[in-house]
A and B are shown apart, each in its own frame.
Chain A
Amino acid sequence: MKYQSHHRVGDGPWVRRTLVLLTVLLATLFLAIPLILIFSQALGAGWGVMISNITDRYTLHAIGLTLFVALLTVPLNLVFGVALAWLVTRFHFPGRKLLITLIDIPFAVSPVVAGLLYLLLYGRNGWLGSWLGEYDVQLMFSWPGIVMVTVFVTCPFVARELIPLMQQQGSEEEEAAVTLGASGWRLFRKVTLPNIKWALIYGVVLTNARAVGEFGAVSVVSGNIRGQTNTLPLHVELLYQDYNIAGAFAAASLLAAIAVLTLAIKGVAEWRQARLMANDRPDRKLQ
């Protein structure tokens, strides 16, 4: 067969070259340069300065709080996401479609608005907050509030990854497992979990990245108390406003490093899941 080129629209050499060039240019300008800049700024005065910036008391506290929030948020949303995806892909009930739409609310709503809503609801003068206040429970302007809004903002990630995959895989394998006498837990551990493993890891990595990096919602409910309710992204802003540029960039470089690591894990997870699905292809014949 003769090799045919230049036949599809946009396949001409000039179109191709222009598009490639444009993409490379934009990617460099908007993605690569800023990323490099963060690290070069952070390291501009040498490793020593950077380390002393990071080991600053308040920065260390911000790192600790951020990790603590992520540590609580990720498992919560992992369980929530798996349960939700299982529910909407394996059962049919009235309101199922509505529920699938509702999952996206945290994506659709601006995080600042989410923060304000929580403040309104759980703040000292809020509907639930005033009642909780009587029992001396304060959620806003302390870490529980930060965890709450972070959970809200990141709750769709795991479910959003799992739902299409679980829909596509169908429930036949699980049905086979129950006819073979498997208990619910054994079914989940041996059949469901291995099939969704990589998508789940992908979802968790995204959840973690967002939990660590969330600014808007957290800034509303945290109150920005240095050394108490300041997370890393808030701390970066605070340092910047203090004209501590080197400190701000040192803290920012930590966030950027987490982002790069996230991308790497995400890449691996995506690749593994794609391979798993490709293996599965010849399995199904259309009728």
Chain B
Amino acid sequence: MSIKIDRLNKYFGDFRALQDISLDIPEGRLTALLGPSGSGKTTLLRIIAGLESATQGRILFGDRDVSQVPVKDRNVGFVFQHYALFRNMTVADNIAFGLESMPARSRPPKAEIRKSVERLLEMIQLPHLAKRYPAQLSGGQKQRVALARALATRPDILLLDEPFGALDARVRKDLRRWLRSLHDEFHFTSVFVTHDQEEALELSDQVVVMSQGQIEQVDAPTRLYARPGSRFVFDFLGHVNVIAGTVDAEGRLRQGEAWVTLPDAPAPGEAQLYLRPHEVHLVSEPTGQACLPFIIEAVNLIGAEVRIELKPKGWACDDIWEVGISHAEFSRWQPERGDQCFVSPDIGHLFKGESTSPETLTWRP
């Protein structure tokens, strides 16, 4: 079932937690609400569930306006960050709770409930823990039980609030894959909240980036990373290298000893150039296109590529620069801490003046 959010506003006293949110969440897809804490993503999720009410605006499930429908009649599954399992009930009773709460007319008979619970326990691979209490489970197991409990009533919509936030890295990765396969199998519409960009990009079909109660960008993960629509999305998604300076009459961005020749010579004025770590390469001498001198600050060999941290030399930037090079290139070149080097851009994103949307530039090799 698709979800439509129509000009939604939410105030907590004078604080405007959500500002004019309009959003379409397509049926059968996994959508991530991504943003830093305080961006309003959890509030939005809770409003979709009905746990919180909007000050203004409408929520539609399919064609049905559910804005005034109480939580218990919305038929959504909700998975809480801290699992919120019923501590006084066994795992099996937790999972059965939703089915047993159904009105007597539509409630399946006891034997059928028991069968559903067994099936769900198989699905989460924990049939041996049916008689345990939540306190006796590990974090990962609890989250599986919470998922099974939410899915027991076959909701059309599954909402997850930072579902893996409290788990350690390995369990998190396992559960993520498991949720993805579960989703592909059952085709419910899922919305999950996360502040972890990697999780959002890996797991979802569509990412909604939020900041300060507003939607910054809605896009597929690949497009979101390749074409961020604003400074915020740039900063928030992955590392970005920034040089701020002045564009001169020849179309060169200059700051201190550093300069970059910009393709298509934009108009003179203040500008910032955003460069992704994989959209630049390292050279030992300045090229005709750019002179961006650096001192190597740190070399990190762990991972698929070697990450090099750079400190600007003869100019300034707020955050250190990061560039990734292949292990092959690393062993050929053997850079060390304290060495001088230069960066040459391949693809860059230029923000002119106070403009909020970037212009993408490509340099010819």
Contact = CB atoms under 8 A, between A and B. Distances in A.
A186 B72 CA distance: 12
A285 to B, nearest CB: 5
30 contacts: A173-B84, A173-B87, A175-B51, A175-B71, A176-B80, A176-B84, A176-B85, A176-B86, A176-B146, A177-B97, A178-B51, A178-B70, A179-B51, A179-B77, A180-B72, A180-B101, A180-B149, A181-B72, A186-B101, A190-B89, A191-B88, A276-B87, A279-B133, A280-B87, A283-B82, A283-B134, A283-B135, A283-B142, A285-B139, A287-B165
A183 B77 CA distance: 16
A195 B150 CA distance: 21
Contacts, number: 84
Interface in B94-139: 97-98, 101-102, 133-135, 139
Interface residues of B, dominant DSSP: loop
Q: Which 3 A-B pairs have the closest CB atoms?
A: A172-B84, A180-B98, A194-B88
A222 B134 CA distance: 52
Query: Which of B49, B51, B73, B102 has its CB near the most chain A CB atoms (within 10 A)?
Result: B51
B97 A179 contact: no
A10 B208 CA distance: 59
Contact of A177 (B82, B86, B153, B166): B86
B87 A283 contact: yes
A24 to B, nearest CB: 38
Nearest to B97: A180
Interface of A: 172-173, 175-183, 186, 190-191, 194-195, 276, 279-280, 282-285, 287
Contacts of A179: 49-51, 71-72, 74, 76-78, 150
A3 B87 CA distance: 38
Contact of B102 (A181, A276, A280, A284): A181
Contacts of A182: 72, 97, 101
Nearest to A176: B84
Interface of B: 49-51, 70-78, 80, 82-89, 97-98, 101-102, 133-135, 139, 142, 146, 149-150, 152-153, 165-166
A287 B166 contact: yes
B121 to A, nearest CB: 17
A195 B88 contact: yes
Contacts of A176: 78, 80, 84-86, 146, 149
A285 B87 contact: no
Nearest to B52: A175
Contacts of B135: 279-280, 282-283
A172 B78 CA distance: 11
Contacts of B77: 179
Contacts of B101: 177, 180-183, 186
Nearest to A94: B13
A249 B304 CA distance: 86
